[in-house]
Structure 1
């Protein structure tokens, strides 16, 4: 049981950290595409399409084994996992955020121009909060879904929850009990993440929840 708990902590921790880093990167990607920044907007679009149209396991192997061979460095497996998950999360989050940016009425930009408010101030203080608030449920669902795909981290040697379950199964040969337990733990972590995100939404966007 201790091994399962340690694996659950590793899976949850890697997902949470990668989710935060992925969200920050997603903001930049979505902004470049939304504002149609010359060249960089096209690079961001190509990056998003590449990530979203390749499997996570392929991205994971490339980051864990391909990049170290090309660039001559070596990180712990959990470091490779964070990088791969961050890249993966950012592509999916950026599309959700871009949809949120598009949903904000262009008249608000015109009002900002009329008042002499810089565009970047308008974006940070008005557009961004509205977009994130509107798309928060979608971001929450996507985050939970991506967490449930992290079982592939065991393929590169990360001691996550799935790896712990496979190890126990190989020693006990009690597959049904082991994977039933894994299922229950994954459900528990997913519900915990969902609850935490819901509380965060209510705290950050009280003005929207109160409507």
Structure 2
């Protein structure tokens, strides 16, 4: 039994040395993997992932540059998506706590990414294929959102109705702007009408009294023309 265990250890040692040698290279290319079988390549992938997860900042950038030539396309996409998620989460958390947009250094500290990686992500994200694909997902969901707006509109939500008409083209924005500009608000208390011009001439105490009446008196009518 001991002999069998010793043999297995001996068999693992060359594999471990191969992997350590490859990971010690300045840049890893597919030529460096030619001598590895499927099992050894899988071991190399696991070792590279463990190393990458331990590194932060500039050291992480150096290691990524080392293994980038052998990374498959889906792995590169996954790395970009991961960076995008952690950067977005860090920004959201910082704004929630401090009420301001964080500097790139603060984002780097929060995410474990280097400042250079954060800056590059900001510079490149607008044209990145994954962002374009994400925006297409939002466009794909637009009809469902519009359906929700429509349901709110037919149930009496006038803001939803206005939004639905504007988005669907059922309302001319130029005409709408003209109507709003010419809108005239007034308050009617029994047979007495107070227009906007009347209200402007009232004192603060008089306006407060009218507000109290509006809250309490069901006979008060607020109208728009």
TM bracket (short chain)? under 0.3
The structure that is strand-richer by fraction is 2
Structure 1 length-normalised TM? 0.21
Larger Cα-atom Rg: 2
Structure 2 length-normalised TM? 0.20
The structure that is helix-richer by fraction is 1
Which structure ranks higher in relative contact order (CA pairs < 8 Å, sequence separation ≥ 6)? 1
